[in-house]
Every structure is written in structure tokens, then in C-alpha cells.
Chains A and B, each alone.
Chain A
Amino acid sequence: ILNVEQSPQSLHVQEGDSTNFTCSFPSSNFYALHWYRWETAKSPEALFVMTLNGDEKKKGRISATLNTKEGYSYLYIKGSQPEDSATYLCASLYNFNKFYFGSGTKLNVKP
């Protein structure tokens, strides 16, 4: 079992604040890094899939970066909105089929 760490565990921000969280993963035999958003009472929803060192992806106000050499990814949210409140999960993929999820960062955006 590989350890995928996410920090912080939870985060409370005001509407309009920008924020970021971290996903750390073992870099040996790494294949891809996935980010998902999981809102309460809904299913996890894919945000990004990144494979290459230095990859940067963006979707609206949310963006992510990947460093495969040191084994970390950052997720950024610019100008947080209450609808961004969710748990953000990262999952590291090894050898095509071995997914390891982190425990998630729970974000609460106050209006």
C-alpha cells in the first residue's frame, strides 16, 4: 500500500479568497495524478488528470500543477465561491491500474 498524503485536512476560507492545497505521493513507478471534487450527497467528479512533470491544467477558476520528480501536486482555487465547498481528492496511479487515493482536503467557503 502506498501513502498519498493531502494537506491540509480541512480549510475554511471567505468568499473571494484564493486558496491552494497539496497532494504528496511516492514518485517511483508513477503513471498519473488525478484530482476529483466530491460534494456532499453527490458522486466524486473528475477535475484533472496529469501525467507529465511540469504539467499545468486549468478549468475555470481551478488549476493544478504536477511535479513528478519530487512527488507532489498543487490544486489552486482563485476567488473561492460557496459552491466550491467540497472535499478535494487526489489519486496517484501506478502501472495503469493501481490507484491510491488521499484522504482529501475538505474546503468550506463562507459567503
Chain B
Amino acid sequence: ETGVTQTPRHLVMGMTNKKSLKCEQHLGHNAMYWYKQSAKKPLELMFVYSLEERVENNSVPSRFSPECPNSSHLFLHLHTLQPEDSALYLCASSQDSGYEQYFGPGTRLTVT
């Protein structure tokens, strides 16, 4: 049990759908992250939140919209995605920015 949970674990959505990925951490951490792992590519940092403020946006398309309502919860809102957005989306948290990260189990997203 890593203390970081993600739901759903699997998601299939059409290009016109709107869906949200949810991440929750039970570790009392101040920083949370969204990563994307596409097939045969390195983990790619998407967003970083520190104390509920977005501190990093790694040139991610606007069809991905993060939300951090409090330090324990992080959402990734998805709309009008493309098939190339199919990937594993991992959430992580750390005590503060730059510290070791604790990862959730990921959401496997398929865009049809």
C-alpha cells in the first residue's frame, strides 16, 4: 500500500467524451504530480502542484486540465482527447517539491 490511490484503474473513452482521473494521497504530502507514460517512452512529467498551487506545466495541451482542490486530492480533467493520448497516467506525491515521490498504481487510458 503506497498511500496514493488512483481511480479509475482503466478507462476507455471516445474522442468527444469528457472524463476525469482522480488521485488521492493519504501521506500528508504537500506536492502532487501527474505523469504520462506512453508505450516505449520515458515517464513524462505533465503537472506539478505544491501547496495546491500549480508550479509546473510542462507544455501540456489544453485538452488536459488539472485541478488540485486541496493537498490530498488531484484531478486530471480530460476532454476531446486524441488516440495518441492513450497511455498510462500516473499520479505521485512527495513531502515537498523535489523530494522522493510516492506513486499511485496508475490509470490505463484508451482513447478510441
Contact = CB atoms under 8 A, between A and B. Distances in A.
Given A97-B48, A97-B55, A89 B101 contact: no
B98 A32 contact: yes
Interface string B30-57: 0001000000011111001010000110
Interface residues of A, number: 23
A34 B33 CA distance: 15
Interface of B: 2, 4, 33, 41-45, 48, 50, 55-56, 58, 90, 92, 97-106
Nearest to A38: B103
A93 B43 CA distance: 13
Given A4-B42, A103-B42, A104-B42, A96 B97 contact: yes
A53 to B, nearest CB: 17
A98 B106 CA distance: 21
Interface string A15-58: 00000000000000001101010000011111001000000000
A34 B43 contact: no
A43 to B, nearest CB: 4
A72 interface: no
B42 A31 contact: no
Q: Helix, strand, loop or mixed for chain A's interface?
A: strand
A10 to B, nearest CB: 13
Contact of B101 (A42, A46, A96): A46
12 contacts: A34-B100, A44-B43, A45-B2, A46-B101, A97-B48, A97-B55, A97-B56, A98-B45, A98-B56, A100-B45, A101-B42, A101-B44
Instruction: From A46, A91, A102, A104, name the one whose CB has the most chain B CB atoms within 10 angstroms.
Output: A46
Contacts of B44: 101
A99 interface: yes
A97 B103 contact: no
